[in-house]
Amino acid sequence: MNGRTRKRSKSEKQSSSHNNTYTGLYGTIPETIEAVKARLDEIFSDCNDFIQREISCGKNSLIRILIAYIDGFVDKRVLNQDVVHPILDFFSNTELHEGSHIYEQLKGCVVINSDIKEANNIQRAVHGIVSGEALLFIDGEDKALIIGVKAPQGRQVEEPDTETSIRGSREGFVENLVTNMTLIRKRIKNPNLKLEMMHLGRQTKTDVCICYIKGIANEEIVREVRERLNKIKTDSILDSGIIEQYIADNRLSIFPTVGNTEKCDKLAAKLLEGRVAIFCDGTPYVLTVPYLFIESIQATDDYYDHAYFSSFMRLLRFIALFVSALLPGIYVALVCFHQTVIPFKLMITLAASRQGIPFSPFTEAVLMIVAFEFLREAGVRMPRPIGQALSIVGAIVLGEASVSAGIASNLMVIIISITAICSFVVPPLIRVTMLLRFLFLIAANFLGFLGMTFLAVAVFIHLCRLRSFGVPYMAPFSPLTVSDLKDSILVVPIWAMVTRPRSLRQENARGTKGTKRQEVTLKK
């Protein structure tokens, strides 16, 4: 492990030194407007969307001001209204004395934009420009102003496609990080909601934001998240999925140990339970850690509906999870190995449906599953308008024709359909169950139930070993945390959920009954 990091940091050093010589991003801001212009032109050479505008104003046009920004990235109307106009007005109306501080005046009372920062070096200035801010440089100064006039970009807040719910908020996150941060602030109006910004990716400089509630989230976990994020050495972070892969505890596991969500209310709930969220600019998927196995069968609707119904749904989802992973394997094991346990009448039905099928049950199952996975994948990748044709072909070929042609038994078609339906009941684990389904099928074909037991033991050992940011993945089952069982396979009514899930080791576990929590927080 040590060897690996060492190797990595070496290559990192090389590439960063390479970067250094190439762009010349470092250094102070030159004091003359010509020099700054030349420098920026050099940095942004061949960038046709880079615009520099020089304004000369005041008496005899002595005061020269440079505005630099990237076209389309800033809102030009706001730029003119907040920056250019006031400056021109100011200098045409005001008498300037020799040596009066133009910079301070501009910063303090002329530019009416509320988001003004100062850049002391080229690097900061360039970062401001590429982030969609405007650079304001006054001739003769060694620093520049960075004015936030970013044009609103991207789509509106919409209902997320991937996570739908019957009840609850329909707001989903968008690609814009600031909008996302606002959305979560809107739900948790509390200064303890911390949003720590950092930039990841050597080339992309993606804005990444760690979000947690101070006083609830475990400080150790927050620190661990920070550390793991800082350790990421890569050129580009294009999606939170990339971060997920870097920060996962066990990078080789097929089970997800980092969660993601597109729904604002879901994220708020997770933060309030003491989890840490990682926002990433450019993607609506927000990561949450620690992510436990049980979360995959939890849905936001569960908490908004009566506990009877949500408990029942939980139970169904739990069963569906097992069915989607095991059913084809169980069928093959039963039909090929353990005919003795099949009741006589079912046996006749089974035998009748298998009559005349040229393939072994295993081959048959694999063929059908592969065909189904093809269909599913095609459904995801293909252009939307073709969808209709695909579903028709899929239904007819898979369902009807394969049976009447005698290639698959109709029982197998039913089994694969049930398996497929069940796998969609637990969306976070669709890929996991797909893989497990194949593995269990193979195990069943070799050793029947015995083989499946082998594999199940292996999978369970793996699951119980797995950790997500130090929290056992199978909590609250293993290790057993009795108080957390209230929100596992069954759900207790929301008024009875007094404590937060203890397995997340919050700073204070007393939950929804406000007063107590407040005290603890204040004491800290």
Residues in contact with other proteins by the rule CB under 8 A = 1, 218-221, 224, 335-340, 344, 347-357, 360-361, 445-450, 453-454, 457-458, 461, 465, 467, 469-470, 505
The residue among 243 and 403 lying less far from other proteins, judged by its C-beta, is 403
User: What is the nearest approach in angstroms of other proteins to the Cβ of residue 447?
Assistant: 7
User: What is the nearest approach in angstroms of other proteins to the Cβ of residue 479?
Assistant: 9
Within 13 Å of residue 222, how many CA atoms lie on the same side as its CB? 19
The residue among 72 and 406 lying less far from other proteins, judged by its C-beta, is 406
Within 13 Å of residue 491, how many CA atoms lie on the same side as its CB? 27
At 310, list the tokens.
């949500």
**DSSP states of 352-408 as a string?**
HHHTT--S-HHHHHHHHHHHHHHHHHHHHHS-GGGHHHHHHHHIIIIIIIHHHTTSS
The residue among 206 and 508 lying less far from other proteins, judged by its C-beta, is 508
Instruction: Please classify residue 30 by burial: count the beta carbons closer than 10 Å to its beta carbon, then call 0-12 exposed, 13-18 middle and 19+ buried.
Output: middle
The residue among 328 and 448 lying less far from other proteins, judged by its C-beta, is 448
The residue among 299 and 365 lying less far from other proteins, judged by its C-beta, is 365
User: What is the nearest approach in angstroms of other proteins to the Cβ of residue 463?
Assistant: 12
Sequence-ordered list of residues with C-beta below 8 angstroms from that of 457, at least 6 positions apart, any chain: none
The residue among 1 and 522 lying less far from other proteins, judged by its C-beta, is 1
User: What is the nearest approach in angstroms of other proteins to the Cβ of residue 326?
Assistant: 16
User: What is the nearest approach in angstroms of other proteins to the Cβ of residue 499?
Assistant: 13
Instruction: Please classify residue 354 by burial: count the beta carbons closer than 10 Å to its beta carbon, then call 0-12 exposed, 13-18 middle and 19+ buried.
Output: middle
The residue among 424 and 460 lying less far from other proteins, judged by its C-beta, is 460
The answer to whether the CB of 234 falls within 8 A of the CB of 175 is: no
Buried b / exposed e over 181-196, threshold 16 CB at 10 Å, is: bebbeebeeeeebbee
Sequence-ordered list of residues with C-beta below 8 angstroms from that of 364, at least 6 positions apart, any chain: 357, 407, 408, 409, 412
User: What is the nearest approach in angstroms of other proteins to the Cβ of residue 287?
Assistant: 17
Sequence-ordered list of residues with C-beta below 8 angstroms from that of 409, at least 6 positions apart, any chain: 353, 354, 357, 364, 403
User: What is the nearest approach in angstroms of other proteins to the Cβ of residue 440?
Assistant: 14
